[in-house]
Amino acid sequence: MTRYPRSGKGRKWTILELKAIPASWRGDSLSDGDGLIGEVRVAGDGLVSVRFKYAFKWAGKVCWHQCGTWPTFNMEAVRTERDEARGQVRAGINPSDQKKVDRIESQARLDAVIAEALRKKDECLSFEAMFEAWMRDGVCRADGNAELRRTFEKDILPAVGTVEVRDLTDAHLRDALRTIGRGRGRARTAERMLVEMRQLFRWAEKRKPWRALMIEGNPATLVDLKMVVPQDYAPTIRDRVLCADEIRELRDIFDAMQAEYAAAPDRRTAVRPVLRETQIAMWLCLSTACRIGELLKARWENVDLAAGVWFVPQQDTKTKVDWTVFLSDFALRQFKELHGLTKDSACCFPASNREGSVDGKTVSKQIGDRQMQFKNRKPLQRRRNDNTLVLAQGRRGEWTPHDLRRTAATMMQMLGIQPDVIDRCQNHVMPGSKVRRHYMHYDFADEKREAWQRLGKKLESILGPAGAADDRQGLAGSARGSIRSARLPAPARQTASMPI
C-alpha cells in the first residue's frame, strides 16, 4: 500500500509525520514526490525506519537508486541524493552505476593509502624485526634456537636492535662485534657471532621486504674478522687428542676418586667423585667415536645387549639419518654396567627427576668444571671448581668429551682403517654429490663392525684387559695424591701435540 503525507499527493513527508508512523505500516510505501519512494521497516525492538529509493527509467526499464534510510540519514540528505541521481539520469548517466564507480574509486584510494602506510612501515623496519623474522622462518637449530637467541639478545640487539635496516652499516656491526672480541676478550665468540650475522644477512637479502632495504648491499660481508678481535688472535681448529698415557691417567683418576670417596670417614664432607654414569659416557665416547649429545639421548629400547648393537634414530643424530653402532667387547661392557645403574629408566642417561634424558651439556660441564685452570671465569656457585681431571699436569691443555671422539678417530686411523669407514663410524655426512649419495647405499656394516672391534682391542691393550691383575690399588694411590694437589686452580699452560 502506498501512503501520502497529510498535505496530499506530490507533497513531502515531514519529520513529525515520519516519527508518527506506526509499526502496523510495515512493508507499506511512502511517496515523497519527484520519484522518491520509501519502504517502511520495523526492527525487532519496534523501531520504525524508512528506506528511500529513487525510481527512474533506464534502457526501457524501471530502475531504482538507493538514497538512504531515515532516521540514519536525515531527509535533506536523502532528497539531495535523489536530486543528484535525477541530474545524472538527465545527463545520460546511470546513477547506480556511478555509485558503484565512486565506491570502487573510494576503495582504491583507501587501498593506496594503506599500501603507502605499509611501504613506509617496511622502510622503517629495524634490525631486531629482521632478526625475529629470521628466527621464526630462517633458522631451526636442535635447541629451538635458544642459544642463538641468548647470544644475540646479550651482545647484538642492545647495540643495533633499534637501528633501521636501511640505515644499518658495517660500522654498526663492527662496533658491536668489537665490543665482544676486544672489549670483553671473547675473540672466539666474536668470530662465531660474525658467522651467524653473515648467515642472517644472506637469508634476508633474498627475501622481501628486507632485500629492498639493503640498498647499499649486505653490510655483514664488509666486516673483517681481524678488525673485531685482538691482533694476536689466531683462529684455530681444535685438534686435542688424548695420548695413551693420558687415557690410562684418566682411568686412574676415576678409580682414585671412587676409592677416596669410599674410604672417607664422613662422606657428607668428602669430595664426591665424577658420577659413574659420566665415567661410562667418557669410555663410550672413546670406544664408539660418537657425539656426546647423541650418546646422552640413548634409550634402552634401542640398545640390544645380546646382539651388541646400539641403534641411534635419526631424530637423535646431528646428520638426521639413522645410525647403527656395532659395539666392541669393550663398549658392550660399558653399556652392561650402565644398564645395571639406569635400567629402571627408559633412558640410558636419565635426568635427575627421571623425566627424559639428561641435558646434553651436563657431562661437558662436569668435565670442564674439574679443569678450572683453563677457565677464564670466576668459580660458579653450586658447581665443582677444581683441577681433578687435568691430564698430564696440564701440559697439553684442557680436554673435552668431544676430544674423545677425535681421539677414537685418530686411533682408528693409526690402526690402518680406511678414512671412508672412519667417517661412517662417526656418522659424518659423506663427501661427494647428492646424486652419488642417492645411488650408493652400501652400509659398510662389516667394515664398521671390524673397525669398532679393533678400536676396542686397542683400548683394552692400553688400559689392560677386563679383570687383569694389575695393581689398581697402587694406581689409585698414586692418582689420589695428584687429585689432592689439583683442587686449587693453577695457571694455564701451553698445549702441545703428542701421539697416541
* Residue that terminates a domain, selected from 165, 200, 227: 227
Q: Is residue 237 domain-resident? A: no
C-alpha cell at 140: 631451526
Query: Which residues face 56 on adjacent strands?
Result: 63
pLDDT on residue 121? 66
* Residue that terminates a domain, selected from 84, 114, 144: 114
**Cis bond upstream, residue 71 (ω within 30):** yes
Q: Is residue 495 domain-resident? A: no
pLDDT on residue 421? 94
The enclosing H or E element of 213 equals helix 210-213
Q: In this structure, are 450 and 410 located in the same domain?
A: yes
- CATH number reported for the structural domain that contains residue 164 in this entry: 1.10.150.130
Q: In this structure, are 79 and 41 located in the same domain?
A: yes
Q: How many CB atoms lie within 10 A of CB 132?
A: 14
Tell me the C-alpha to C-alpha distance, in Å, between residue 229 and each of 182, 188, 194: 5, 8, 11
* Residue that terminates a domain, selected from 227, 259, 284: 227
In Å, the largest CA–CA distance within the chain is 128
pLDDT on residue 500? 55
Q: In this structure, are 43 and 167 located in the same domain?
A: no
Tell me the C-alpha to C-alpha distance, in Å, between residue 93 and each of 36, 256, 262: 18, 103, 104
Q: In this structure, are 327 and 209 located in the same domain?
A: no
C-alpha cell at 277: 654414569
C-alpha cell at 70: 531515515
Tens-digit pLDDT string for the chain (500 aa)? 889 988 888 889 999 999 999 999 999 999 998 889 999 999 988 899 999 999 888 888 888 899 999 999 999 999 999 999 999 988 888 888 888 888 888 888 888 877 776 666 667 889 999 999 999 999 988 788 999 999 999 999 999 999 999 999 999 999 999 999 999 988 999 999 999 999 999 999 999 889 888 888 899 999 999 999 998 887 777 889 999 999 999 999 999 999 998 988 888 878 889 999 999 999 999 999 999 999 999 999 999 999 999 999 999 998 888 999 999 999 999 999 999 999 999 999 999 887 889 998 899 999 999 999 988 777 777 788 889 999 999 999 999 999 999 999 999 999 999 999 999 999 988 776 676 667 777 788 999 999 999 999 999 999 986 534 343 444 344 444 544 445 444 443 333 344 45
Q: In this structure, are 339 and 435 located in the same domain?
A: yes
C-alpha cell at 11: 507533497
- CATH number reported for the structural domain that contains residue 6 in this entry: 3.30.160.390
Q: In this structure, are 133 and 100 located in the same domain?
A: no
Q: Is residue 239 domain-resident? A: no
- Interatomic CA distance for residues 260 and 267, integer angstroms: 10
- CATH number reported for the structural domain that contains residue 267 in this entry: 1.10.443.10
pLDDT on residue 493? 37
Spatial contact of 70 and 81, defined as CB atoms under 8 Å apart = no
Q: In this structure, are 337 and 408 located in the same domain?
A: yes
Q: Is residue 119 domain-resident? A: no
Number of separate domains in the chain: 3
Q: Is residue 498 domain-resident? A: no
pLDDT on residue 479? 46
Q: In this structure, are 29 and 108 located in the same domain?
A: yes
Q: Is residue 31 domain-resident? A: yes
Q: Is residue 208 domain-resident? A: yes
C-alpha cell at 285: 665416547
Q: In this structure, are 298 and 181 located in the same domain?
A: no
| Cβ-based neighbours of 288, under 8 Å, separated by 6 or more | 295, 310, 325, 327, 331, 408, 425, 452
Tell me the pTM.
0.64
pLDDT on residue 1? 86
What values do phi and psi take at 96, rounded to 5?
Answer: -65, -40
Spatial contact of 274 and 491, defined as CB atoms under 8 Å apart = no
| Cβ-based neighbours of 420, under 8 Å, separated by 6 or more | 430, 444
- Interatomic CA distance for residues 192 and 201, integer angstroms: 15
Q: How many CB atoms lie within 10 A of CB 305?
A: 13
pLDDT on residue 98? 84
Q: In this structure, are 41 and 6 located in the same domain?
A: yes
pLDDT on residue 276? 94
Q: In this structure, are 439 and 387 located in the same domain?
A: yes
pLDDT on residue 365? 92
Q: In this structure, are 152 and 96 located in the same domain?
A: no
Look up residue 298 and give its amino acid.
A
Tell me the C-alpha to C-alpha distance, in Å, between residue 265 and each of 126, 260, 261: 63, 10, 9
Q: Is residue 383 domain-resident? A: yes
Domain limits for position 14: 2-114
